[in-house]
Structure formats: structure tokens, C-alpha cells
Amino acid sequence: MLIKTLQKIQFEGNEEQSILDDALKAGFFFEYSCKNGQCGVCKTNLLEGEVIELQAQIALSHADRINQKILSCCCAPKTDILIDADDLKELEGIEVKTFPARINKIEKKTEQIIELELRLPPATNFNFLEGQFVDVIGPAGIRRSYSLANSASNKSINLFIKKVKDGQLSQYWFNEASKNDLLRIEGPKGTFFFREKKDHVVFLATGTGIAPIKSILDKLSELSSELSFSLYWGNRNPDDFFWQPDYKNLNLKYTPVLSRNHENWADKIGYVQNAVIEDFGNLESVQVYACGSLEMIESAKELFVKKGLEEKYYHSDAFVSS
Ligand SMILES: Cc1cc2nc3c(=O)[nH]c(=O)nc-3n(C[C@H](O)[C@H](O)[C@H](O)COP(=O)(O)OP(=O)(O)OC[C@H]3O[C@@H](n4cnc5c(N)ncnc54)[C@H](O)[C@@H]3O)c2cc1C
């Protein structure tokens, strides 16, 4: 079966493998993140032909289905097809590989969050774009995705990991993991990376969703970027703000947002996406990078598009379960 795009690329596909995997195998990079139908990042228009649903397209709304939208991570071609999907050239040369990695450091940031530092074998050439994530393969082969929290120039791998109640890998990270444990990582993955398209950039995060945004900001700081940035970070408790942005050479305005009232809190209160709306009457001239809970990402997109944001300038990465 032939898969063609409006952007004039074409490659072979088959009924057993997703369109996204066909594209990646053929060396093309379409937007994607979770690869299990939940986050919706790989949503595209099916313009001609038919597809088979290999796994449930959870992120599609009723209107999406009526409008012939599909998730490229969930569908395989049944006939030759034409879709609308950009090839992200920035990812050319970034290879997904599997590496052994040892735990170098585990630092408790709060009762619920650790920073994990992994080290790779000395000769390893691990290259990534800031904002991407890796799959960590832990004990018993359990695999979970975590966003890189450092820039690529820093040769270690730093992750911010939140404890999830009854979570399989959470149990390992918070009760069993120790220095020098051997794990495997597969990556880098995902298409949440910085594209310089507008002069003002709004970053939006909840919880450990700050990880890829810190990674992007670290990189922008190394480049002494002259763009202007607003960062909104939402958490439940004042103690959850386990990291403080400190970029002397960036024009960055940071707004921490607490989701509920607290006596020792002088900054904004409420949902992080509403805090953005309070500050920006109109979002026509900005681009947005949002990372964290799926609820926040979906709600922010809807709100921001209503306030004039062009959908193509909304980039997101949802920390859905693996
Ligand atoms: C692209 C991507 C990047 C991610 N990056 C990070 C990161 O940088 N830091 C980080 O802490 N997590 C991140 N996650 C989430 C992470 O991959 C795991 O889902 C999470 O750590 C839970 O794993 P677990 O094995 O402890 O729990 P599991 O055994 O997978 O789940 C236990 C229970 O918790 C629920 N659950 C699982 N994950 C979540 C969640 N995220 N929120 C609410 N409920 C959940 C499950 O449905 C299940 O009922 C990312 C996810 C994706 C898809």
C-alpha cells in the first residue's frame, strides 16, 4: 500500500503496522508522542483511502471522526491513502537507539518527586532535541516514558519522576532503586521540541511536565536567545515547586500558579491555563508549548484557540499512562 502526504512525500505501508511506524521506518518524522492513542499529537486528516484501526483512537472526538481525522499511531492503511502530515526535518539524524544506563544519582526533590541522573557508557553518542523523551526499561522489562530535563550539551540524562499511587515503576523508583542499578533506555522519542516561529513564546506546565520545558529553556539559555518567554507552572501545593528558573540571559517572565487556595501563597491561584488567559487578552502572536496532564493540555488548547492562537502554534506533550 502506498502512503502519500499533501506535502508530497510517499512511502510503503502495510496492514500490520501503524502509519506512524511506517513513516519512521522510511525515515520521515511525523508529529507523535505517546503512541498509544491517548495524547492525540499524531492526529491527521485522512484525505483519500481507507484505514484499519490497530488500537483504539481514544483521543478522537465524535467531531474528529466525522471530519475524517485519524491518529497515525493507531491506524494502518487498508488501501493507498493520502494524509496531511508534515515531515519534521529538524529530527533528521536523530536516531532512536537502545542503551544500557546506570543510575548515577537519585535526589529526592519532594515527598512525591525525585530527580534521577543516569549515566551512559563513556563512548556512547546519545543525541536528542531538547523537549524529547526516552523510554526507560526497568526491572522485569517494565517500560515507561520520561522526558529529558537537561540540555543535550550536558552529557548525563536527568529525569524528574513523580510518584504515581500503586504505579509499578513508581514502586521501584521510590522504594528499591539505588546507585549503580543497571537499566536500559530507548530514545530519544517524540516531537515536542522548540521551533522558532514567533517572537513570544508561552510555556505551560503542570507537575513534572516542567521537565522538557526546563530542557528547552536550558538550551535557549545556552544560545542566549533574544526571543521573549513567559513560563506558567502549575502545582497543587507550594512545596511542589521543586525547581526555580534562573536564566540571567533570557527575557523570561515566570509565573508559578497554585491550583487551590493556600495561606502562604502570594502568586496566582487557579488553573494554569486560566492564568495565561488572565495575562494575555489575545494569543494571535504567540506560540505555546504545553506539557503535563492531559486535562490541562486539552483544556488549554480549546481556550487558547478561542483566544486567537493558531492551532499549528500549539505544541504539547501529555504525560498519559504508558
Ligand atoms: C511522552 C511521555 C512522557 C512522560 N514523561 C514523564 C516525566 O518526565 N515524568 C513523570 O513523572 N512521568 C512522565 N510520564 C508518565 C510516565 O511514563 C508513567 O506513566 C508514570 O510514571 C507512571 O508509571 P508507573 O509505572 O509508576 O505507574 P503504572 O503502573 O503505569 O500505573 C499505575 C496506575 O496509575 C495510573 N497512571 C499511570 N500514569 C499516570 C499519570 N501520568 N497520571 C495519572 N495516573 C497515572 C494508571 O492508569 C494506573 O492506574 C510520561 C508519559 C509520557 C507518555
- The Å distance, Cα 319 to ligand 1 centre, comes to 6
- What are the pLDDT digits (tens) for 275-319? 999 999 899 999 999 999 999 999 999 999 999 999 999 999 999
- What is the model's pLDDT at position 257? 98
The mean pLDDT of 82-111, rounded to a whole number, is 95
The mean pLDDT of 86-97, rounded to a whole number, is 94
- Domains by residue range for the chain, with CATH: 2-87 (3.10.20.30), 92-189 (2.40.30.10), 200-318 (3.40.50.80)
Pocket test for ligand 1, best of 35, 108, 146, 296 (most atoms within 8 A of CB): 146
- What is the model's pLDDT at position 115? 98
- What are the pLDDT digits (tens) for 163-208? 999 999 999 999 999 999 999 999 999 999 999 888 899 999 999 9
- What are the pLDDT digits (tens) for 223-257? 999 999 999 999 999 999 999 999 999 999 999 99
Biggest CA pair distance of the chain: 62
Query: In ligand 1, which atom is closest to the CA atom of 34?
Result: 53
Phi, psi for 53 (deg, rounded to 5):
-85, 110
Q: Residues 6 or more apart from 21 whose CB is under 8 A from it?
A: 73
Q: How confident is the model at residue 147 (pLDDT cuts 50, 70, 90)?
A: very high
Q: Are 217 and 148 contacting, i.e. CB atoms less than 8 angstroms apart?
A: no
By the 10 Å C-beta count (0-12 exposed, 13-18 middle, 19+ buried), 273 is classed as buried
- What are the pLDDT digits (tens) for 42-80? 999 999 999 999 999 999 999 999 999 999 999 999 999
Q: Whose CA is nearest to atom 31 of ligand 1?
A: 167
Query: In ligand 1, which atom is closest to the CA atom of 211?
Result: 8
Q: Residues 6 or more apart from 61 whose CB is under 8 A from it?
A: none
Pocket test for ligand 1, best of 145, 171, 186, 289 (most atoms within 8 A of CB): 145
Q: Which residues approach ligand 1 with their CB closer than 6 A?
A: 33-34, 133, 144-147, 159-162, 164, 166-170, 190, 208, 211, 317, 319-322
Q: How confident is the model at residue 152 (pLDDT cuts 50, 70, 90)?
A: very high
- What is the model's pLDDT at position 165? 96
DSSP conformational letter for 125: -
The mean pLDDT of 138-146, rounded to a whole number, is 96
Measure the N-to-C terminal CA separation of the chain; round to a whole number of Å.
30
Q: Is the pTM of this model over 0.85?
A: yes
pLDDT at 142 over 90: yes
Query: In ligand 1, which atom is closest to the CA atom of 142?
Result: 25
- The Å distance, Cα 146 to ligand 1 centre, comes to 8
- The Å distance, Cα 145 to ligand 1 centre, comes to 8
Show the CA angle centred on residue 214, arms to residues 210 and 219, nearest 5°: 155
The mean pLDDT of 210-232, rounded to a whole number, is 96
- The Å distance, Cα 320 to ligand 1 centre, comes to 6
Q: Whose CA is nearest to atom 35 of ligand 1?
A: 321
Q: How confident is the model at residue 154 (pLDDT cuts 50, 70, 90)?
A: confident
- The Å distance, Cα 75 to ligand 1 centre, comes to 24
Q: Whose CA is nearest to atom 36 of ligand 1?
A: 321
Q: How confident is the model at residue 221 (pLDDT cuts 50, 70, 90)?
A: very high
- The Å distance, Cα 34 to ligand 1 centre, comes to 11
The mean pLDDT of 19-35, rounded to a whole number, is 95
pLDDT at 264 over 90: no
